[in-house]
Amino acid sequence: MKYSLWALILCLLFSGSAWGQSIKQRVLMPGDLIKGHAEFEANCDKCHSTFDKSAMSNLCLDCHDQIRADRTSKTGFHGQSPLASVKPCNTCHTDHLGRDADIVGIAIDAFSHEFTRFPLQGKHAPLACESCHKPGTKFRDAEPECASCHKKDDFHKGALGTECQTCHEPHGWQKRLEFDHSQTGFPLKGLHREVACSGCHAGQNYEFQETTCVSCHKAKDVHAGKNGKQCDTCHSVDGWDKRIFNHNTTEFPLTHKHAQIPCRACHTNGVVEKNTPMNCHSCHATDDIHLGRNGKQCESCHTPAEWKKTKFDHARVTGFPLTGKHQALACTRCHVGALQDDLPRDCASCHAADDVHKNPEMQICATCHITDGWKKINRFDHHFTNFPLVGLHSIVPCQNCHIGNQFAGTSTNCVSCHKQDDHHKGALGENCHSCHSPNAWNLWQFDHEEFTGYALLGSHENLACDACHAPGTDPHKTQPVCGKCHARQDIHNGGFGLDCGRCHSQNKFFELILQD
């Protein structure tokens, strides 16, 4: 009987009928499935492939398609965990442990949230699991959006959506991240970065129809809207009073002191008008010491660097270059009227009061004087006069000959200057240069033979002039005969006449000349 029962069981197990297969699976099953899998107890092929354990994980994923999706997309715990993403499912999850068995087997205290779609950071890390994972729900069903937990903390009342992490960080609800405002089409620069969000988004209003400057700064618009709404054309985000307008793009570039003055100095009432006058006189009428006599083209002489510094090219425009001390003179020293008035260009017309010569014939002052100083005399070329300066005359001061600064009519006779030096007391006339040299008064070079016909030879050669020509006598009346000078030496007492040279030699009086 005992053997007959076993034979019957074996026949049923290996029978090809469905009932036989069910009995076979039931006999071979190691234990009851969990409640979630209980419906598959009669169908082992739902989870097992005969003689192929490697196929088991695919059968699991056929039912658990969310897990398959995590693995495929590399997201969630089963897609990111180094273990769960590659190991067979039964490595961690084993069934047939009974209806109430926990085959998920999560170790709450040791579970790493790092491999989930919501890593725990900041104040999220110390929270209890049930703070986010409600009892009776799957762990994966917890919503990762901030608003799912913090809706009651949303100061914006949903106006900014549910992506709280765009601005806030998990270390503290009040700690804000650096929101990339450029994503809104309005990047924050300059002082805008320091303004609180509510400074622009009053009343949680984050939708603007326009983002023009005047939409926020209308109250500060000193132009009262007359210059339009594009304040950033002139003003900078670094400060309302800092200008950025490039005036060089206009017909009136700003340079030097013009670049430092406020806009309203030219654009009265803060209104920028296209018809703002650009001539200097329109702004500088009160500075015009010429009282309009010189016209309105102030830039012809004045520069924007300094009103009192002029740049007028006097040489090019007038043909009268300003040199020396003329350069430092104020224009009004010569131009007492309007600049257009014709002015005389000769020196005397301005310097008549300085003319010490008081001579109408000496009006060309530049002949001797230079513009570096009235008292500085130019190197006058005396060769163009009838008395060229040679020798010591070339270094004598002008006033030594031109007494009282009188130049015209000055005598050219030597005696007019050298009368006190005339050893001859006027006996030889006024043409001192006949004998004396301009290199020195005591140097003379009179050619006695050429001018008198009487050659000085022998002992006569070295005699002083007054040895023959007595001082105060006219040398032209001196007779060139021996007896006139040698009467005392004439032992003949004039018996042989006055021409002693017939017998006596000029070398020595007592040296006779033999006559044939």
pLDDT digits (tens, 9 = 90+) for 205-228: 878 878 888 888 888 887 878 788
- Determine which of 11-25, 96-110, 131-145, 343-357 has the lowest per-residue pLDDT on average: 11-25
SS3 state of residue 376: strand
Contacts (Cβ under 8 Å, ≥6 apart) of 243: 234, 235, 236, 263
Q: Report the share of the chain in percent with pLDDT over 70.
A: 93
pLDDT of residue 157: 80
Q: Has residue 380 got a pLDDT over 80?
A: no
- Where are any strands of DSSP class E within 328-377? 369-370, 373-377
Q: How far is CA 295 from the centre of its chain?
A: 35
Predicted confidence band of residue 2 (pLDDT cuts 50, 70, 90): very low
Q: What tokens were used for 329?
A: 């003179």
Q: Has residue 108 got a pLDDT over 90?
A: no
Residue bearing the bigger pLDDT, 106 or 472: 106
For residues 512 and 510, what is the distance between their CA atoms, to the nearest angstrom? Answer: 6
- Where are any strands of DSSP class E within 332-466? 369-370, 373-377, 436-437, 440-444
Beta-sheet pairing, 373-377 with 440-444: unpaired
pLDDT of residue 326: 92
Q: Has residue 68 got a pLDDT over 90?
A: yes
Q: Has residue 9 got a pLDDT over 70?
A: no
Highest-confidence segment of 320-334, 351-365, 420-434: 320-334
- Determine which of 4-8, 60-64, 317-321, 427-431 has the lowest per-residue pLDDT on average: 4-8
**Helical ranges in 99-159 per DSSP H:** 147-150
> Which residue, chain included where needed, has tokens 């007896």?
483
Question: What mean pLDDT value characterizes the chain?
Answer: 82
Predicted confidence band of residue 516 (pLDDT cuts 50, 70, 90): low
Candidates 284, 269, 268, 272; CA nearest to 247 is: 272
Mean pLDDT of 342-365: 82
Contacts (Cβ under 8 Å, ≥6 apart) of 252: 278
Mean pLDDT of 376-399: 84
Residue bearing the bigger pLDDT, 516 or 177: 177
Domain boundaries defined on the chain: 13-49+58-117, 279-341
Q: Dihedral of the CA atoms 95, 100, 101, 107 (nearest 10)? A: 140
450-490 pLDDT per residue, tens:
888 888 888 888 888 888 887 777 777 888 888 888 888 88
For residues 427 and 420, what is the distance between their CA atoms, to the nearest angstrom? Answer: 13
Using an 8 Å Cβ cutoff, are 256 and 305 in contact? Answer: yes
Q: Has residue 14 got a pLDDT over 70?
A: no
DSSP state of 18: H
Highest-confidence segment of 314-323, 372-381, 432-441, 501-510: 314-323
Burial class (CB in 10 A: 0-12, 13-18, 19+), 298: buried
For residues 32 and 37, what is the distance between their CA atoms, to the nearest angstrom? Answer: 9
pLDDT of residue 28: 67
Residue 339 amino acid letter: L
251-301 pLDDT per residue, tens:
888 888 888 888 878 887 667 777 788 888 888 888 888 888 788 888 888
Residue 278 amino acid letter: M
Mean pLDDT of 156-167: 82
